[in-house]
Chain A
Amino acid sequence: MAPSLAKLMLSNETSLKVLGNSLIMEKVLKYSNAFDIHSFRKTCHGIRTCVDDLKLDPQFEVYVIYMITDKKIDAAARVTGYKTFKSISYEQINDCENIITTVLAVLEMNLKNQKACLEELRLVCSFYEWTVKSKEPLETLIPEKLVPITSEFLAGFKEILKRRSGLLKVKKLNLYSVREEDVMQVLPYLDPKSLEKLQIGDSHWLHGELYHKTDYPESLKISYDIEEMTKTEQWKNLRQVTVNTGILSTPIQKMNLTNCSKIYITSVARITSDDVVYLKENLLTPKLQSCTICFEEFVEDPQLTEFFGQPRYIERAVVVFKRDRRIWYFPIPGANGSMMEIDLDRKLCLENVDSFKYE
């Protein structure tokens, strides 16, 4: 008898009777994590059908995708109750394959039955292998190679999210190296009640963050407009927002930030006295933790002293083109002695504090 036939007969008699039995398999998978379930699925058709029919929640806690090049994508995930990540690398060997299709197929299979809330979903698009010094200049890499696959990937991801029976629950969404339209492919399709933290960053920011370099080509710095995403229910319910982009053109008063307790934005094109007053009035609540906004230009008209009075602390600029540092304090109503500290120099910081700085 051929070995394959012997194997088939044995499996038909025992293995498939056990592992293809949904009642038994449900009990076995109760003690298996998502990766073991995935391994079971890949053994054979009979077991795969049995596992899929059970529609088990894989209980992913963190799911990360790094788009390293247009031909290489890494994915890593961690399951609830485990400390380590399990990662998988996808590489496109020949042109007749489509790496995006493969990655999306696995992503859909993994997230299809996810009912538990993901603590973090991180999509690092265009994570280009800058670590391995590319021979090609940066200018040719980003627009020509990375944006199209980012768009293709996120358009596919949007369809996966739309096909799910319920909105995917995610507590923290990190989208790096994305444009505003890329964010809109994901953000509106997540459960607005679960999403608490959003962190977005463009390629410029990612480049600086990874390599601590400031040599990002000026021509590639794009103006960023988040107005559309700030209108979504998901954004309005956020507790923490971090926007790391080149230059953010959206006016501060249109950013719908008043529900947030923690804000970090770098950097906005322009900030005015009215914006500072608006933030002070709307964030002066006990839930405030901190709000930091970097800016390119500050238009102080009228003077802030007209609204806030004299600052408690002034640090005179030693260089002519630099601005004086000024700090104001305002008691937060109902916060048991806590104060809002407004610290303004090259950036604007509003923070919930218990004592004065520089007493």
Chain B
Amino acid sequence: MSSTEQGTSSAAPAEPTTAPESAAAPEVPESFYYVHGKDKVVHKVSAGALQHSALIHGMISNLGYTEEQAKANPFPFENIDGDILQMVVDWCNQHKGKPTPPEDTNLPKQKEKLFDLVLAVNYLEIKELLTYCCKQVAMMVKGKSPEEIREIWMIPTDAEDEAAEKEAKKRAGKEAAGETAAAAGDAK
């Protein structure tokens, strides 16, 4: 149902179908919106799938875009990597209009990707997917020592943190001193 398009491809809006007279209610054509991440790849997603994201759902409701306007103005999520946004879009499509299952085993197993996904999902306010991701994070650290957790997620110790900060400050100081000296040389 979803398609990935580069730039602004011309996806024709769905034509309303003529409902047979016997039908109880006329079928409303599904509307589509467009989103892109850091890589500018535009994803066409149905409004139904986007309902999972409280953020996008709120934006759609407030804007009241027509199909053409939506196509011309994809929602930009510059803080989300393209592959992560693809994962989010796929998840929203897979779970469109369905009750979410208690478990989701299709989440990324690589820790870096999982954390990127957590941040994206948190930003887009996709409650159910955030819950799955958080559960996976919890499972990955279950029974681990603080040292092991630090190793998994590359967390510095307080001492390392302090030392690294000092080092960064020292470097910044040196760079600033170098720039001042260069500026003084130019002035002469």
Question: Which A residues form the contact surface with B (CB < 8 A)?
Answer: 2, 4-5, 7-8, 10-11, 14-19, 21, 23-24, 27-33, 35-36, 39-45, 47
A8 CB contact (under 8 Å) in B118, B135, B164: B164
- Are A39 and B167 in touch, CB under 8 angstroms? no
A15 CB contact (under 8 Å) in B115, B131, B134, B144: B115
B-chain residues with CB within 8 Å of residue A15 when the two chains form the complex: 115, 153-155
**Complex Cα gap A16–B164 (Å):** 15
- Are B154 and A40 in touch, CB under 8 angstroms? no
Chain B residues within 8 Å of chain A by Cβ, number = 34
- Besides A11-B155, A15-B154, A17-B115, 13 other CB < 8 A contacts? A2-B167, A14-B154, A15-B115, A18-B137, A19-B155, A30-B134, A31-B135, A31-B139, A40-B149, A41-B146, A42-B146, A43-B146, A43-B149
B-chain residues with CB within 8 Å of residue A10 when the two chains form the complex: 154
Interface of B is mostly: helix
A44 touching B155 in the complex, CB below 8 Å, given contacts A7-B160, A39-B149: yes
- Are B146 and A39 in touch, CB under 8 angstroms? yes
- Are A11 and B154 in touch, CB under 8 angstroms? yes
**Complex Cα gap A176–B137 (Å):** 41
B-chain residues with CB within 8 Å of residue A42 when the two chains form the complex: 146
A11 touching B138 in the complex, CB below 8 Å, given contacts A39-B145, A39-B146: no
- Are B163 and A18 in touch, CB under 8 angstroms? no
B-chain residues with CB within 8 Å of residue A41 when the two chains form the complex: 146
**Which A residue sits closest to B139, measured CB to CB?**
A31
Q: Within 8 Å of chain A (Cβ to Cβ): is B70?
A: no
B134 CB contact (under 8 Å) in A2, A24, A33: A24
**Complex Cα gap A39–B118 (Å):** 21
A183 → chain B closest CB, angstroms: 36
B129 → chain A closest CB, angstroms: 11
**Complex Cα gap A10–B112 (Å):** 10
**Which A residue sits closest to B141, measured CB to CB?**
A36
**Complex Cα gap A30–B161 (Å):** 27
